[in-house]
Structure 1
């Protein structure tokens, strides 16, 4: 009897030990699953295999590896999506069925001026647009797919956006449905489209007049050549030649302006004397002026000499401005050209004492085809592109251009040129020495 009790006690003890080892193994399995780590089965004997614990450990390790790999892949996908959203120039919004913002990428935050967290904030507080709210309803109802242009007012400026959206259905029936919106800012494209249309209209208008005149006179010469006198034929040919020259000048200016605006016109900078360009201009213009009452005056700082410029294009700047004066500045008696040195740059002004420009026109004179006196400009053969070319040439040199005028008193065109020549530092030092007062004790 004692032997049986002893054997039973030993058997119970073995069971308790195995139960404790089994509990330890199950605890390690649970920890391995929670920590996404492999389970190491170090149990001795055949009892784990007998109870299929070895197979359980292998399955746990396999599932842990799969879960770890899946989580890493999901993290990688999420990181890629976040990176893409952060770097998109388009604004991306995710809105729930209560119009609450769920997500807004950085572009959307900048557009809507969102600060802090977006959770719980309604989209209407950032987008006061009935058009957008109506679009949201139609997309949720499945009645619209594609793009829609919507104008949004942000502060003092208005922006045009091309908006598309799509519903995001959730797998979880308890989760709210969401809607994705992508807003693409096409304001600049709209502006460029307007400029293109205006340009085409202006070019068509400018070409139509000389072409019509050329066609009219050439048709008359062909049809009535037997009845026209030599004087009439000569007059018709002179008219044709004048308008051909006008067409040629217009096309040349259009080509130059097009290359300047698109950046295909290179600027070949070299050390060149700015005073020499100004003196050559004076020599070319003075013979065209009224010798008794019109003159060109120069006031050039003696320290200005060679600058890093494109001499041909800078000569064209002076020529275009002075051509405008001789054509349109009625009653002028002088053209005053000044060039003075400032720290790091040269300031040039070309001024006349003619009729001046109305204040309403002054801010537009550097625009293509803009004319203050449209009838007089076409009569005198102007293209309306001269000052626009001036602006682009100065900007290509890294300078700025401006216009100042008082109606009835004259006009002043000013521009700056960076002083990047080898002598620039020496000029700065010399200028400072001259401007410093002399020491009376020396």
Structure 2
């Protein structure tokens, strides 16, 4: 991280293209050094960064208070303010996540597989860092620390561009992480927070082919759409979470109520939050389940059959089945069995996280096998859609595509591989 790059006026004399090119060149040089650092040295640097986050607690929380105040003045939605807000517990969680990444096995250098050809050539595939990664994100200041930690651990350099709503928080976290990493020998250019909120800098980053190796967008639908439309660099997309939970006819009522309420209401603003509840027409306790959700403070929008179960449910329209609310609002639909549930999910899921609640093992297995989402769950809350909960430490995002990485993207997803070929003088006939 570059502690001198914290004030926008420093960049006003250069174009966004020149700024990104300069930062990327620094990142490339630093990445070569970082890629050669010993496993223990990288881990020590991350532990020092976590300690610095704790030492700078007051400064980080004061910076976050500025962002919260500005967000309220801008009338940001409550869900966005929740994603933005830091307190002592959340900041401790950020520091602990950095330490968790330090404790993970280093994937760099792992031999994926090896073989020997008939001519005696010995082939092996070995994990290596991707290189320079551009990460564009909104709202959640913890991404600054998570991204820095994951990239350092996997030997990558990163250019971080957070949203304007979290600018003070991001800069304070960056300053703390910077001090810790630098104290243990991580090159200064390895992790750089782009020092401007000018949207043109994002455009320049997206077009920096040859200087940046991969872009990771983490934010709302409009951000991801812009990245995918404009990027000239490969993109690892983190799309919206239009997540479903299907309550099967054989669901245990106590489990169905506990899981559905948690999946929606634990934190409504996270990407793993439940957005559409599918209730089997033969599930006998649908009314009680819907009442439990309504009583928890959640508004429901349902089809005609769902509305007949509780007068407090508003009418859903076609748009509701394709909406990521990130709020205390839930779409509800009654379906006639597993096949209709699978068809609805196929038509409307964003491919993020979908779940079933059932005591029927065969039905659960069919759901797990047939739903084509990055994360598919049986009898568990979709709020577990998180790299930390998967034992991966922090995550860079949840990829919903089908290439390179899928689901929670952590250390392994931030590596690629190269072939190493060892011979004894073989020539090709």
* TM exceeding 0.5: no
Structure in which a larger fraction of residues adopt helix: 1
Q: Structure 2 length as normaliser, TM-score? A: 0.20
Q: Structure 1 length as normaliser, TM-score? A: 0.19
Which structure has the greater CA radius of gyration? 1
